[in-house]
Amino acid sequence: MKKLIYCLFAILPAYFIIQGCNKLDGIISANGQLTATKSEVKINEPDTLVAVDAKATDNISWIVTPGGANSISTNKNAAAIKFTQAGTYNVKASINGVNTESLTIKVNSSVYTPPAGSTTLPLTGDQMSITPGLYKSVYSDSTYIYLNFQTTNTYCVTDRLNFTGSVDAGNYQLAFNNITEFGTCTGSTSTLHGGLNFKQSAALLANGTYPLNISLNGTTYTGSIVVTSATITFNWTYTSGVVINPKIITR
């Protein structure tokens, strides 16, 4: 079993932060659907998860319970996740609307210190392209909006896009903070990707109009999300800075 875990992480894209194979304490779900680099992490320490059988063309989203204290960066069938609060979390993937088994990750009260040589880069001059979507569980009434996004500028494939977001009392917030660069880039460059699930407290996404605020490089872009029984419409007028497409999703 351990050999399988080591091999899986050896072939992960360099975009994710992977510890040396001799340091892994990885875990794997009972049916082998998910793997994680670590079963216990510190606050703000990245952990890497892989949906083993998923393909690059699959529609993959990640579900964390309880929510509200995590951020996730994705690349194909892998996700780099970190938590801002200590606790015990269950993480699972939804692959084309079908949920995998969950993995349990414990976050202790220590605060993670990035390795020596890492630096923080601003997002100066960058723009974000956002693709919205609606998650609908095939097993329950659970529905929520999610946003997938990518930078316009390219960075080292080992860099990480840092962002935060939440939905509180119907107010949708997303902030793109900066880039973490781990050492000197000696490999290829690429746009960076991320995703955020806006899981509201209620299982159902209620009809209504909700404010949407997205921050990038000191500018807060504002709009709204209009939810009806038939569609979800993003009232978003910007054609640069932060661009959302498509603006209408069929519910």
Closest CA to 73 of 1, 127, 17: 17
Per-residue pLDDT of the chain (251 residues; tens, 9 = 90+): 433 333 333 333 333 333 332 233 567 877 778 888 889 999 988 888 888 888 767 888 888 888 778 888 776 777 888 898 999 999 998 888 888 888 999 999 999 887 777 888 999 999 999 999 998 887 778 899 999 899 999 998 888 888 888 888 899 999 999 998 887 787 788 898 888 888 887 888 999 999 999 999 999 999 999 999 999 999 999 999 999 999 999 98
Spatial CA neighbour of 64 closest among 149, 166, 133 = 166
CATH number at residue 17: 2.60.40.1080
Per-residue confidence (pLDDT) for residue 26, from 0 to 100: 65
The 3-class SS string of 74-85 reads: EECCEEEEEECC
**Is 37 found in the same domain as 100?**
yes
| Shared-domain flag, residues 156 and 209 | yes
Last residue of a domain, one of 111, 131, 161: 111
Domain of residue 8 covers 2-111
Q: What's the pLDDT score for residue 18? A: 32
Identify whether residues 150 and 237 lie together within a single domain: yes
Q: Which residue has the tokens 């978003």?
A: 236
CB 77 within 8 A of CB 50: yes
* Nearest-angstrom CA–CA distance, 225 and 135: 15
> Given this model, what pLDDT does residue 203 score?
84
For residue 248, the model assigns a pLDDT of 97
Give the integer Cα–Cα distance in Å for 52 and 35: 7
User: Across the strands, what pairs with 197?
Assistant: 146
